[in-house]
């Protein structure tokens, strides 16, 4: 029988896993005709618009967006507030 070093109830979710879910919800909430969504389409040209509408991003895509300062400049008031909270 194998024993674990850390009890399973004390294991925390990896931060990127949580960020992926939040990022998916954030992208789904963006208006399709907004500057922010258009920027995402230009940032990830290999992803179809349908996949972006569905929020289908990978961990690598999330890292790129978190380090991209131009992305936050394309946002309006509420979008920017949500983005700043997501980046924490």
Confidence of residue 14 (pLDDT cuts 50, 70, 90): low
Average pLDDT on 54-68 reads: 87
Confidence of residue 45 (pLDDT cuts 50, 70, 90): very high
Does this model's pTM top 0.85? My answer is no
Among 33, 27, 29, CA closest to 71: 27
Query: What count of Cα atoms within 13 Å lies in the side-chain half-sphere of residue 35?
Result: 10
Q: Where are the alpha helices (DSSP H) in the chain?
A: 15-29, 35-43, 49-53, 59-66, 69-73, 77-87
Among 42, 29, 51, 33, CA closest to 70: 42
67 pLDDT more than 70: yes
């Amino acid at each position: 029988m194998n024993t674990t070093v850390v009890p399973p109830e004390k294991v925390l979710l990896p931060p990127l896993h949580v960020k992926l879910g939040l990022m998916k919800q954030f992208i789904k909430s963006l208006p399709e005709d907004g500057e922010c969504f258009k920027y995402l389409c230009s940032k990830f040209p290999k992803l179809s618009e349908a996949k972006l509408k569905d929020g289908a991003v990978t961990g690598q895509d999330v890292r790129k967006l978190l380090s991209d300062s131009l992305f936050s400049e394309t946002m309006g008031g509420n979008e920017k507030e949500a983005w700043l909270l997501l980046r924490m």
